[in-house]
Chains A and B, each alone.
Chain A
Amino acid sequence: RKEVEQDPGPFNVPEGATVAFNCTYSNSASQSFFWYRQDCRKEPKLLMSVYSSGNEDGRFTAQLNRASQYISLLIRDSKLSDSATYLCVVNGDSGAGSYQLTFGKGTKLSVIP
Chain B
Amino acid sequence: DAGITQSPRHKVTETGTPVTLRCHQTENHRYMYWYRQDPGHGLRLIHYSYGVKDTDKGEVSDGYSVSRSKTEDFLLTLESATSSQTSVYFCAIREDYSPLHFGNGTRLTVT
Residues of chain A whose beta carbon lies under 8 Å from any beta carbon of chain B: 31-32, 34, 42-46, 49, 87, 89, 91, 96, 98-106
Contacts and interface: CB of A to CB of B under 8 A. Distances in A.
Given A44-B90, A96-B56, A101 B100 contact: yes
B57 to A, nearest CB: 10
Q: Is the interface of B mostly helix, strand, loop or mixed?
A: strand
A31 B97 CA distance: 8
Interface residues of B, number: 23
B102 A45 contact: yes
Interface of B: 31, 33, 35, 40-45, 48, 50, 56, 58, 90, 94, 97, 99-105
Contacts of B105: 42-43
Contacts of B90: 43-44
Nearest to A101: B100
A99 B56 contact: yes
Of listed B41, B42, B97, residue having the most chain A CB within 10 A: B42
A52 to B, nearest CB: 13
